[in-house]
Chain A
Amino acid sequence: MSADKVVEVSRILGALSRELDALERAAGEIPAVERNVVRMRGTLRALEIQFEDLAAMQEGGG
């Protein structure tokens, strides 16, 4: 996989995270949404830890 793809995957993961924020806000305090978002965030993080640092390194973030 090319470095560009790592950056692209990381960017989309970031967008998904923001979508989850938006979903939580839109639902207010509906437990069914809140708790399922927690679980989806867990799955999302399993991917973020594999791509976000490499993407930051690629983009010169040290």
Chain B
Amino acid sequence: MERSPTEYWNPVLETLDQERLQALQLRKLRRVVSWVYERSPLYRRKYQAAGLEPGDIRTWDDVARIPLLTKDDYRCQGVDPFPYGETLCVPLDEVTEFHQTSGTTGTPVYQPDTWADWEWWSECWAAILWAQGFRSTDRVFIPFGYNIFVAYWAGHYACEKIGCEVVPGGVLGTRERLMKMRELRVNAFMATPTYVLGMAETARTEIGADPREWGIQKILCAGEPGALVPSTKKRMEEAWGCPVYDHVGATEVGAWSFECRHQPGGLHVNEAMFLVELLALDADTPVTEPGVPGRIVITSFDRQAQPCVRFDTKDVSMWAEGACGCGRTWRILDRGVHGRVDHITKVKGVLFSPVTVEEVVRSFDELDGEFEIVVEKRGDLDHISLKVEMPRDMGEEGRRDLLQRLASALRWKTQLNFDIQPVEHGTLPRYQVKARRFHDRRKSG
């Protein structure tokens, strides 16, 4: 793919040489460390306990001295100034936006933003959409009920900033959303990978239409991994007949990464707005070489109400080698987010990542792609089972053959023998966001 003359949202920042980019990052890091130290009792306490003053951050070697922020640190929320407590860095009357995390991993975190923060959110999203080819000529559908979760809110505002025509598709059911998309001839939309696949299925089975004929030119995925799992991406792109791009962000962090339209097999980090570090999975030592998995730790440089400084996301990725054809100098995380540290676990003594199962299951065209993994103890031994939905009209012999091939592929990819439990089509839950397909019941006892 050739570069476009208008490839970049901000060509100055997106093509900065490494030396100037690092100087910019250090300058911004020092400023945000001072900002939180002066305004947040929580940060000040943490830094003082570590013997750190903002002025101590002079070089990149000093960055490791900055304590990590975790979800547990947000436990101070719910007290004065209510409801944000000691993480709030601006007067309460400057807060104009409230959102919260989904609470997937514990108590939800409240996230305040000022109006300037909200402009920052949409600016970060605008850079993402622009990199994926969204322009003012696009009519974009957002099939998502906007609410207390930040998902797609900023995407909506960024579409407006770029000049796209935005169609908000909240409240409507899947079938009605699809009818509206077809009626208005929208040419782009945003959704989770699970929902992108679910919508295509609904179009085929309930409307009797082939969504590849609807003129959709691009799809942005966010909210859960999948758009960088090759078999899932292929499934989505074949279902809709257009490219599908990934984006990863977080409520506490912002919209920090994206796949550009050159599809480099990973996520660009917006390094002008965020510092992304990888730390070892079981220690706080930096991972800088490509191909080595690490925990993603992120600092948002320019947020004011409640910035995160060295936030340990517990997500796992690895640096990619080489540059992208788009010409951006921002580094790439190979294959995006691979999963969470607490989901990458040993089963029967073998290191196991649920995303590998997704890759295998969705590489089988006969399967509809829904699955559920359960790991539990049976006696002293680990037991791993996989529920998969079988095709509607497959005979007994075909099912047996399919299950054998699936078991073999899983064994090859994971070194584990799965107890595969076929279930009827439509049995497993359909998610719109935050699909929960992996259950490790050994931990819950």
Contacts and interface: CB of A to CB of B under 8 A. Distances in A.
Interface of A: 1, 6, 38-39, 41-43, 45-46, 49-51, 53-54, 56-57, 62
Contact of A39 (B24, B115, B117, B273): B115
Interface string B89-114: 00000000000000000000000001
Contacts of B23: 57
B13 A50 contact: yes
Nearest to B124: A46
Contacts of A41: 115-116
A50 B10 contact: yes
A49 B120 CA distance: 9
Contact of A38 (B24, B115, B122): B115
6 pairs of A and B residues whose beta carbons are closest in the complex: A42-B119, A42-B116, A42-B115, A46-B123, A46-B119, A49-B302
Contacts, number: 45
Interface string B249-275: 000000000000000000000001100
Given A39-B115, A45-B116, 15 more contacts: A1-B11, A6-B12, A42-B118, A45-B119, A45-B120, A46-B116, A46-B120, A46-B122, A49-B301, A49-B302, A51-B12, A53-B24, A53-B27, A54-B13, A57-B23
Interface in B389-431: none
A34 to B, nearest CB: 12
Contacts of B116: 41-42, 45-46
A50 B272 contact: yes
In this complex, which of B27, B28, B117, B273 has the most chain A Cβ atoms within 10 angstroms of its Cβ? B27
Contacts of A54: 12-13, 20, 24
Nearest to B23: A57
Contact of B27 (A6, A39, A46, A62): A62
State the main secondary structure of chain A at its contact with B: helix
Contacts of A1: 11-12
A42 B114 contact: yes
A59 B13 CA distance: 17
Contacts of A50: 10, 12-13, 123, 272
A46 B272 CA distance: 12
Contacts of A39: 115
Contacts of B119: 42-43, 45-46
A29 to B, nearest CB: 15
A50 B24 CA distance: 10
8 contacts: A6-B12, A42-B118, A49-B301, A49-B302, A50-B10, A51-B12, A57-B20, A57-B27
A47 B155 CA distance: 18
A9 to B, nearest CB: 9
A42 B113 CA distance: 11
A22 B120 CA distance: 24
In this complex, which of A1, A43, A50 has the most chain B Cβ atoms within 10 angstroms of its Cβ? A50
Contacts of B27: 53, 56-57, 62
Contacts of B12: 1, 6, 50-51, 54
A57 B12 CA distance: 14
Contacts of A57: 20, 23-24, 27
A52 B20 CA distance: 14
Contacts of A51: 12
A41 B12 CA distance: 22
